[in-house]
Amino acid sequence: MAQIIDGKAVSASVKAEVAEETARLRETNGLKVGLAVVIVGNDPASRVYVNNKKKACEAVGFQSYEYALDESTTQEQLLDLVNVLNRDDRVNGILVQLPLPKHIDEKAVINAISPDKDVDAFHPVNVGKIMIGEYSFLPCTPAGVMRLIESTGVDITGKQCVVIGRSNIVGKPQAMLLLQKNGTVTICHSKTKNLKEICLGADILVVAIGRAKFVTGDMIKEGAVVIDVGMDRDENGKLCGDVDFESAEKKAGYITPVPGGVGPMTIAMLMKNTLTAAKQQAGIE
Ligand code: GUN
């Protein structure tokens, strides 16, 4: 039976570290940290995420600035706001909640955010820095996954690491981070042949394919670390992950639950990136 990786506990410890450093730097350097969160339209899931981000800011001692824009906002208006925030010294990090309404080009918006304030690490400059291992910010979800793997005490060096999913937000950067920790990395996706065999070779398996209960126990190597990035609904409408937890926990050595695994980590890493941004902009470290 697998040991459950407690994402809530690891996330709480990351947030506690950020809160402690924020309080210390306010005392010693007068540093104030601000995060601007921009949401366009009325997507209910986005609204929940944005509220959680604001709450996390309060908890760690940051100021949050919310910009809730109407669905009908034009691309030009949104780009104007991003440019204002780029120049606003109170704002150390800018997060534009995705997805954006269809009439707005997400790429154009991401490209407009100053790379120094891009706490999502979505800007091509920050993506490029991750490729060469010289980054300031790591994308929040893959960085959170790395923290969860670290919490197991399992050393990544030399291990067979399999990532299922190749998105720009999770799969691709996840593979790079595992490679930087000396893992031997295979990236799989919906067109991969022999997926089961490849998974069975994985010491560390990160699943981010967006299909409910896609990975089952018979695809998992005995004792593997299994990280489930999925947020799906099962046939009864109940929240579940990309991994079939019930069968997987019988084979895995360590496994993340959904909810309570990767989810809580994303916001914790966003707080960490925002503090990093504020320190860099103030010339600290
Ligand atoms: N929408 C879902 N996840 C994310 C995220 O990590 N960042 C942003 N900006 N939007 C999202």
Kindly report, residue by residue over 164-219, the tens digit of the pLDDT.
999 999 999 999 999 999 999 999 999 999 999 999 999 999 999 999 999 999 99
Q: Is 117 a catalytic residue?
A: no
Active site residue 97: yes
pLDDT band at 283 (very low <50, low <70, confident <90, very high): very high
For the Cβ of 140 lying below 6 angstroms from any atom of ligand 1, the answer is: yes
- Predicted confidence at residue 219, as pLDDT, reads 98
**C-alpha span between 193 and 159 (Å, rounded):** 21
Checking if the pLDDT of 230 tops 80, the result is: yes
pLDDT at 108: 98
What beta strand segments (E) does 75-175 contain? 93-96, 160-164
Interval between CA 81 and ligand 1 midpoint (Å)? 18
For residue 49, give the nearest of 211, 231, 206, 274 by alpha carbon. 231
- Active-site residue (options: 15, 117, 118, 120): 120
Q: What are the backbone dihedrals phi and psi of residue 264, each rounded to the nearest 5 degrees, phi first?
A: -65, -20
| Ordered domains of the chain (ranges, CATH) | 27-114 (3.40.50.10860), 140-263 (3.40.50.720)
Q: What element of type H or E holds 102?
A: none
Mean pLDDT of 102-128: 98
Identify whether the C-beta of residue 261 lies closer than 8 Å to the C-beta of residue 5. yes
pLDDT band at 285 (very low <50, low <70, confident <90, very high): confident
- Probe target for ligand 1 pocket from 39, 82, 97, 119, with the most ligand atoms within 8 Å of CB: 97
Max Cα separation, the chain? 56
121 lines ligand 1 (CB under 6 A): no
**C-beta 96 within 6 A of ligand 1:** yes
Instruction: Look at residue 153 and tell me whether its pLDDT is greater than 80.
Output: yes
* Ligand 1 centroid, distance to 266 Cα (angstroms): 9
Q: Residue 134 — very low, low, confident or very high, per pLDDT cuts 50/70/90? A: very high
Q: What is the mean pLDDT of residues 44-50?
A: 95
Q: Among residues 53, 172, 251, 272, which one is catalytic?
A: 53
